[in-house]
Structure 1
Amino acid sequence: MAWEPGEGPRDRLLSHGAATLSDAEVLAVLLQTGYSRCNAVGLARELLEHCGGLTGLTRADASSLLACPGVGNAKLAILKAAMELARRQALQELDGSDVLSSPAATRRFLQHHLGGRSREVFTVIFLDNQHRVIRCEDLFLGTLDGAAVYPREVAVRALQYSAAALIFAHNHPSGIAEPSAADRRITERLCSALGLLDIRVLDHIIVGRGREFSFAEQGLL
């Protein structure tokens, strides 16, 4: 199906703004073309249905995306590049900012950074004494069952970067942003170990599907 001049999602994006388009239409602008059975919007709708919406799309791995008819390596690269740009923009927004005054930016970055992972990842944001970001690093990678976290390695990295404070974060691939007993125990161990080095733990954020749990906000630190 060919679009009449001015009717395609790209034309409407340029003339009326991206906010006027549906999720499928915005995705179609990225994909540009469909395949033999449908146009770009049709392919975008199939992709969203296949993945369970935008959140599912960001979580989908390469094999899952390639299993959708009409998606080859070229479209896979476009989708992955778009997701990476969103993650980098969120990190840039966070980088150099006062983390305490921008919790929304912190959460937004962590959703981009961890929300789509199919394995548990333990991330540390290292901060200076004014709570500006020095570095963000994935320290421990786990399986669907969890990640082994070692306080000694966290402390070594914090001293290496001369960090005065830290924010921990990890994802729950199940999508449920509630702390387990193991999450509570490792947070206590990390706080105790780093406290001996006069390094503050500002928060531990668990990233679920579209939502987060903050230890600090719940009074658990």
Structure 2
Amino acid sequence: MAKESSQHKGHRQRMRARVEQYGLESLEPHEALEYVLYITNTRKDTNGLAHALINRFGDFAGVLDASEEDLLTVEGVGPSTARMLHLLPQVGRYYTQCAVNGKKCMKTTDQLVEYLMAQFAGTVQERALLAALDGRSRIKGLFWLRDGTSDRVSLEIKDVVAAALKGGTDSVVLCHNHPNGVALPSREDLMATENIVRALGLVKVHLRDHIILTESEYFSMREANRLPFYDFQTGEMLRPY
């Protein structure tokens, strides 16, 4: 194996010193990717490879969202590099989940949305997620319900109830995304939510909110006064709209 040139070695040292002092966010996208590529390319100059990947997939996020098969079509990308890049978004989501679960109180909708958006990062199809909260509004568990298409996901009542019971709490938040649309509920979303509120009420679980996400926006049915309420004592549905 050829030895690393002194010029290249010095460049890596400067990059590492810069990240250590100012963080990864101080780098341009191609520089950040070049830096990440050091993990599996211990000797190789990764600057050219970083540019080739961004040219192929559009931007830093596009590279990480690419499949391993597509990554391998770029000259210089081997199986280890393709696997590492493809895993990074999953690692980020897993870290966020572990860092928050059982620790941080979700006191506001904005805090909860920030956490939920991280779970949906890079998702190109509609998905549904149930978050179980404990008495202090801390995330106790996350349960993916169903994957859908680019513009639809089925919210099956039995799946929601089963996940809520598995969560072991009496308070849950339902969330799904609109990756190619706006953060507004459809008529089907509203009808499904009412049926879910009733079904959860029968097992003494309170639906605190149903949140719809896009990449940058959200719609909270609770904040918009569109979330029905089930009275545990009377079994009556109270509709705010």
TM-score, length of structure 1 as denominator length: 0.80
Could you say what the CA RMSD is over the residues aligned between the two structures, in angstroms?
3.1
Cα distance change on mapping 1:196 and 1:16 into 2, 3 Å: closer
Structure 1: runs of 5+ lacking an equivalent: none
Identity of aligned residues (%): 26
1-structure distance, mates of 2:206, 2:52 = 47
User: 2:143·2:163 contact (CA, 8 Å) conserved in 1?
Assistant: no
**Offset at residue 105 of structure 1 (A):** 4.4
Q: How many pairs does the alignment contain?
A: 219
Note if 1:201 corresponds to 2:215.
no
2-structure distance, mates of 1:5, 1:98 = 41
**Offset at residue 103 of structure 1 (A):** 4.0
Structure 2: runs of 5+ lacking an equivalent: 228-241
Counterpart of 1:28?
A: 34
2-structure distance, mates of 1:25, 1:73 = 21
5 Å-filtered alignment, 1:106-185, equals: 106-174=112-180, 176-185=182-191
User: 1:90·1:108 contact (CA, 8 Å) conserved in 2?
Assistant: no
2-structure distance, mates of 1:20, 1:105 = 25
The residue identity in structure 1 corresponding to 2:10 is P
Q: Secondary structure at the match of 1:86?
A: helix
**Offset at residue 81 of structure 1 (A):** 3.1
Equivalent residue for 1:76, pick from 82, 106, 121 = 82
Note if 1:5 corresponds to 2:43.
no
Cα distance change on mapping 1:180 and 1:209 into 2, 3 Å: same
* Superposed CA offset, 1:41-80 (max 9, x none): 3432343343333443454333443344433322222213
Q: Secondary structure at the match of 1:101?
A: coil
Equivalent residue for 1:94, pick from 94, 100, 108 = 100
Cα distance change on mapping 1:80 and 1:166 into 2, 3 Å: same
2-structure distance, mates of 1:90, 1:171 = 18
**Offset at residue 91 of structure 1 (A):** 1.0
User: 2:107·2:137 contact (CA, 8 Å) conserved in 1?
Assistant: no
Q: Secondary structure at the match of 1:32?
A: helix
**Offset at residue 165 of structure 1 (A):** 0.8
2-structure distance, mates of 1:210, 1:48 = 22
Cα distance change on mapping 1:118 and 1:195 into 2, 3 Å: same
2-structure distance, mates of 1:64, 1:185 = 40
Cα distance change on mapping 1:11 and 1:104 into 2, 3 Å: same
After superposing the two structures, state which structure 1 stretch, 158-167 or 14-23, moved more: 14-23
**Offset at residue 95 of structure 1 (A):** 0.8
The residue identity in structure 1 corresponding to 2:50 is A
Q: Secondary structure at the match of 2:165?
A: helix
| Bigger Rg, which one | 2
User: 1:33·1:39 contact (CA, 8 Å) conserved in 2?
Assistant: no
**Offset at residue 169 of structure 1 (A):** 1.4
The residue identity in structure 1 corresponding to 2:139 is V
* Superposed CA offset, 1:91-116 (max 9, x none): 12321145431544433332232221
